[in-house]
Amino acid sequence: MSTTSATTSSPNRSTTSTGVDSVAVDEHGHAVAGMFDAIADRYDLMNLVMTWGQEPRLIRRTVTAARLPQAPAVLDLAAGTGDLAFAVLSRYYGAEITACDIAPEMMAVGAARPGGDQIRWVQADAMDLPFADHSFDAVTHGYLLRNVTDISATLAEQFRVLKPGGWMAALEMSPAPRNVIKPFSTAYITWAVPRIASWITDNPEAYEYLSRTSRGFHPPQVIQRMAHEAGFRSTGYELHMFGTMAIHWGQKPLD
């Protein structure tokens, strides 16, 4: 794995024993990082459970929404164990991928996967990215926005580091729409997921948190409006899994 410094230097930057570059994060970030680090070894399995096995397909759709050029420079935020980053790597020869997450143990799992040494792993806060303006052709992320304290600042940072004409593409859970599926979807995410997590992981409390933040997250129309307010244009989203998953996108204008 690459241990080169990020595009801009930081006096708070260090390199962990796993080779993951890191920068200082705030108190909320430490709490979130600790929670995800505690479930790192079962995170991918639980994501499959939570999405009824649909996550690989949704990740591919998210990569498509990023509208990547050939040999792109891509920043994958909330990279976790690298599912989105590896999806880009498998489709785009010569891609330069920076996987960024606040949880180093999650990234250590990803860095140990085959091909992990072709990705640059950086621990950083998505609300204060250690990269220069106009650094990336695309920014991708999955399940990031529900875990930050300031969505507007997070989107503004993505806009800043994108090259003009570059795209943001994001996979997020979405509140179930008011239809016949809603009672079943709510019961699944509220009761079934934490119960399954108690069988699979040693930290079911983390999935109670994920369940709670999923139920209380903004509807996709609000995220689209916030992306537009951050400067993105050609914004949009598509819904999957009866409206409980959303893929968002937006472009940084050329001028």
Alpha carbon of residue 215 to chain centroid:
18
Tokens of 153: 């600042």
101 is in an annotated binding site: yes
The answer to whether 117 and 85 have CB atoms below 8 angstroms apart is no
Separation CA 109–CA 37 (nearest Å): 10
3 is in an annotated binding site: no
202 is in an annotated binding site: no
Separation CA 60–CA 146 (nearest Å): 21
126 is in an annotated binding site: yes
β partners of residue 196: none
Tokens of 31: 């709490």
- Write the DSSP symbol of residue 154: H
Question: Residues forming the annotated binding site?
Answer: 81, 101, 125-126
**Binding residue positions for S-adenosyl-L-methionine:** 81, 101, 125-126
